[in-house]
Amino acid sequence: MAFDYITVTRQRGAAGDSPYNEIDWSDPDEVDVDGCLLDPGGSVVVDDVSRVPVVTSPTLYAPVDADIKKLDRIKVGDDTYDVVGKPRPWGQVGDNVSGLVVKLEEVEG
């Protein structure tokens, strides 16, 4: 699935300022990034005693200079995903890097 742009959402202030180490998403910064592609990945249903969550794990391919960091959220169309781990450059030949690969996750339920 291809998208011309995605929106990077970043919380303001330091992560973990709350007493429960939660991130405050009430007033985030948002930046659009053009030239991205999304591999929709797959979804799995996780058995849990109290609920049945569905975990979706797509991969985002962004321009190498995209400002995407761990703990960011990515909006793609109507969906919002958490960045998992540290985005990494990919397709490097010598000093030339083709892009940035970003693992994403969405948990529903």
| Beta strand residue intervals within the chain, DSSP E | 2-10, 29-39, 43-45, 54-56, 59-62, 73-76, 79-83, 88-90, 99-108
Average pLDDT over residues 76-81: 91
| CATH number at 2-108 | 2.40.10
pTM of the model: 0.79
Q: Give bridge partners of residue 101 from the DSSP assignment.
A: 61, 88
What pLDDT, in 10s, does the model give residues 15-52?
555 555 566 677 788 999 999 999 999 888 887 777 77
All structural domains of the chain with their residue ranges: 2-108
Closest to 37 (Cα-Cα) out of 93, 92, 102, 91 = 102
Q: How far apart are CA 73 and CA 7, in angstroms?
A: 8
